[in-house]
Structure 1
């Protein structure tokens, strides 16, 4: 029985993939990691290299098997990447829909992982990116954001999508960019949308150093404080039962909130 099925949403480039891969690497159990971002970079640091995406594999072999698309990663992780179309061609979210349908067909969830994690792009308004919630693949959502304007703006829009789908928000992860009063800003934002900050991840050059090696911080620098932060984050998420439908801000309320800190 799957203990948790969680989807991590956030603005492109905010650190979703880094957060997901390090949480997966830190978790002591069978973890199924599903990259739903067209960049297909979620699982690189778990497997040690980029893996073939589901869409690319299906283009070459319409009758592909689970072994063709699922790869073993660090610390008992199973990894897949949905992939997307060539830039400027087709709908990126369509890849998520096709991928989930194929994973279901091939029985990818039959191994009963302890936790399933989805890394989902959150600043593209497209039906495909709502699949983990709309089709009940994920039970709860966590939003990754910094204290920057566009990151928070995207986070508020994600909250609107979660509310519309009657999804459950487990909390906000503050992935720091060293903005003035950053944790304070993100904490108030979370409160404004009827949620809370479940973890604060400080900016660290260990992230970039480990990614140069195609590894997670957990694998490259296991004794570091940064590694401990990811361990605590996944532990707090696994123990979290405080989930609820968010109450996103309207545009004017969001503007008033953010610019009160400027």
Structure 2
């Protein structure tokens, strides 16, 4: 089965060291936040790409991802869906959809039915050319359909990392990496719309951080030995501020 996302050294470190206060989804599973062009959250969707033998049944990872999103949907009284599509091929003609974490049951939808459902739940769908919604790491049949379907008046991003404290949600983190030196890298203003969307979803109850690490392509190295951290808070000026640079064990363990 095709894996849309090849991995992340920080995720690997968390798993290898059994750091349970950090949780995340990866592979063919995404936790998406949809909002309007002003960054106001409208709905949340856990999206899962599966193969033929998994089609039509829930895995524990899918259920956990859905329920994790649901705690934020309940905070804002937002719709929250679990959506499953067949992960092979460049398009899909049918999806399985669950609309309630109280009753984990599927209903079958066509892409057009899904578009109508999202529209009825607050997304302003139009036919204008969409900008690049989400990082290329999430290139899949679903995400290509999304980009070609919803138009230019929505914002959508995914949640990369959840942080718990005393067994309760404390913060969410956006993970960034590139070949730009740690000392020089700063968050790009082109991403601020997505940052604003997540901030509006979790503020003021929870914190929002950006974690950056160096990733060189030649030779390939996903270097997490040092992590540069920023805090995002759009109630402050500037909305994104540098916090500190940490050794990985200092920040994660």
TM-score by length of 2: 0.34
Compare the two structures and name the one with the higher helix fraction: 1
Compare the two structures and name the one with the higher strand fraction: 2
Task: Say which structure, 1 or 2, has more relative contact order (CA 8 Å, 6+ apart).
Answer: 1
TM-score by length of 1: 0.33
